[in-house]
Structures are given as structure tokens and as C-alpha cells.
Amino acid sequence: MSIQGTDFAIAGGAVADVPAPVHAERSLASRRIVTAFGFWVFLLTDVVMFSAFFATYVVLENMTADGPRGVDVFNIPVVALETGYLLASSFTCGIASLGARARNNLMYYGGMVATFVLGAAFVLQEFSDFSGLVAQGAGPSRSAFLSGYFALVGCHGLHVTMGLLFLLTMIAQVFAKGYRPDILRRVLCFALFWHTLDIIWVGIFTVVYLLGVVR
């Protein structure tokens, strides 16, 4: 209960008075912990999901149904360019995070815009790759191998697209509300999400593309 700005808590049979500002600070800290924990759980479930997609792809890799294999359809120079886009976006995302902490508009907005441009270039190039494969008759229905490939890589591309929407939301929130503590936590969550997608893509580039052209 609260009397004239002071909260009273019963602990171990004794009544202890807790000033209202201290109680509010503890509540805020608790919400921060719950938010951080919840977002880490979300990221871990995403990693588990991608692990399942990886396992499925590896199992189906040789089931080509006399259709094209990875070495026949993968364009490594183009995929390497896509990888460059995404890795560079990870760097610019880091710049944006540092800018948010420093309340530096040039670093924050500049980093976020650069991240968006690089991420959008990645998505557009991947869409072009998929369209080219479908036009060649190498769509997801052609074989189990291509089904696993489109599912894994397409799921990652969908996540990057959602990340771009997340990014635009964070730009709008900082512009409208400034660098409030809750906004900064969301910027941190976005950065964690984006870097996680970069790490997953490195795994895709290695397992699917690089190993796919030498097997």
C-alpha cells in the first residue's frame, strides 16, 4: 500500500517503507529484464527454426530428381555480392547503434539509412535470383533439393524484409520521440535481430553455396 508517496512492503513479518521513486525505479528495471529476456527467447527460437531448415536442406540436397544441382544453378559471384551487402549492413547497423547511444543524429540516421539501402539491395538481388531460377524451370516444385533450398534461403529473405520494416519503425520512433530509454532498448533489439540474420546468412553462404558447388 502507499501513503503520501511512500510504499510499504511486508517482508519477513516486518513492515519496511520503500520510497515511491525507488519502487518505480525497481519496476522499470524489472520491465527491462523481462523485455531483454523475452527478446533473447525470440532470437533463440528463430535460431532453432533455422537449424531445422538447415537440417532439412542437408537431407534433401542430393534429391534432385534428375534436375539441376547446386553447381548448375548457383551463381557464386552474385551471391558473394549479396553477402557483401549484408555484411556491410551489419557494420552500418553498428554505427547506428553507437549513434543512438551518443544521441548523435548524423551517426544514427546515417547508419540506419545505409543499413536500409544495403538490406534492400540484398532482398532485391535475392528476389532476382529466385525469379531467374523459376524462369529456368528450377522452381521449388522441381525437386526436393530445390524445395529445401527455396524454403531455407527464402525464409531468411523474409526475415530480412521484416527487419527492414523494423528498421523503418525505429527511425520513425526516434524521430518522433527522441532517444528515450525505452526507444534505445528497441534500437538494441533491432541491432541484435539484424546481426543474428547476418550470422545465419554466413552459415547459408557456406553450407548452401560454397559447399554446394564443390560436392
CATH architecture of 38-213: Up-down Bundle (1.20)
Interior/surface letters 41-69, b for 16+ CB within 10 angstroms, e for the rest: eebeebeeebeebbeebeebbeebeeebb
Distance in angstroms (rounded) separating the CA atoms of residues 176 and 109: 13
Would you state the pLDDT for residue 116?
A: 98
Residue with cell 530480412: 160
Q: Tell me, what's the pLDDT at 106?
A: 96
Q: Tens digit of pLDDT for each residue in 106-118?
A: 999 999 999 999 9
pTM reported for the whole predicted model? 0.82
Ranges of residues in the chain whose predicted pLDDT is under 50: 1-16, 18, 22-25, 28
Render pLDDT for 184-206 as a digit per residue (tens, 0 to 9).
999 999 999 999 999 999 999 99
Q: Can you give the pLDDT at residue 60? A: 92
The predicted structure's pLDDT at residue 15: 44
State how far the Cα of 165 lies from the Cα of 172, in Å rounded to an integer. Answer: 11
* Predicted pLDDT of residue 30: 55
